[in-house]
């Protein structure tokens, strides 16, 4: 019996190893990264972006690179006790501060430009383009800032990163869980595979098929 299913079991084993150490896709169940990533997106995660790891572990065999500002990273947070996806805002040695949802990095304010809401965005929010030292991305703000809209200044320690959600008033990120240790980061994401609309019978969103962030 085992011989009959040997090829199938080998395929499953290799697929699990691939998803653990090379690449995987993850479902995004919350809106903490709106408007960049929406609920129901299946994002592609490059697990070899920073390290070659022993499959099914966080043990790095070879370090390939470090996360940089602007990267969207997936990490297994011990403090949150779950897998999270956030954007790297500050790297080791950076000093960062937030005042009224506006960031200051190493003493310099980031540049913010107002942008028009997409058709699917609620009317009671604003969306801005945030320029993070050359990396431009969108963020979402509520009319009334949350209690997380101000912090710092803080300096990022060695082997740690400060990460934030793009949906700034609705994200449990480094303002809640603290700095993210380097060894908790399992990969980088820059594209999505497909997306399901939770509010429309889980139908696919064709406009979000194989899109880059």
Instruction: Return the active site residues.
Output: 32, 86
Kindly give, in sequence order, each residue whose CB lies less than 8 Å from that of residue 187, ignoring residues fewer than 6 positions away: 23, 24, 45, 46, 47, 48, 49, 50, 73, 74
For residue 10, the Cα-to-chain-centroid distance in whole angstroms is 32
Do 101 and 168 form a contact (C-beta atoms < 8 A)? yes
Q: Which helix (H) or strand (E) holds 127?
A: strand 126-132
Give the separation between CA 213 and CA 72, rounded to whole angstroms: 9
Give the separation between CA 125 and CA 140, rounded to whole angstroms: 7
């Amino acid at each position: 019996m085992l011989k009959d299913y040997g090829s199938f079991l080998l395929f499953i084993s290799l697929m699990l190893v691939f998803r653990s150490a090379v690449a995987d896709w993850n479902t995004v169940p919350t809106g903490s990264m709106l408007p960049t990533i929406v609920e129901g997106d299946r994002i592609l995660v490059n697990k070899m972006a920073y390290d070659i790891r022993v499959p099914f572990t966080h043990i790095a065999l070879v370090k390939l690179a470090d996360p940089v500002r602007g990267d969207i990273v997936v990490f297994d947070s011990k403090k949150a006790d779950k897998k999270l996806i956030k954007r790297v805002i500050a790297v080791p040695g950076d000093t960062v501060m937030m005042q009224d949802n506006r960031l200051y990095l190493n003493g310099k304010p980031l540049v913010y430009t107002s942008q028009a809401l997409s058709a699917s965005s609620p009317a009671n929010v604003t969306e801005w383009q945030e320029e993070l030292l050359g990396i431009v991305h969108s963020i979402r703000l509520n009319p009334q800032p949350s209690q997380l809209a101000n912090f710092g200044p803080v300096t990022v320690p060695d082997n740690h990163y400060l990460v934030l959600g793009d949906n700034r008033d609705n994200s449990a990120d480094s303002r809640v869980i603290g700095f993210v240790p380097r060894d908790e980061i399992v990969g980088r994401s820059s594209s999505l595979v497909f997306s399901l609309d939770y509010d429309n019978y889980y139908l696919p969103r064709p406009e979000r098929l194989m899109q880059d962030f």
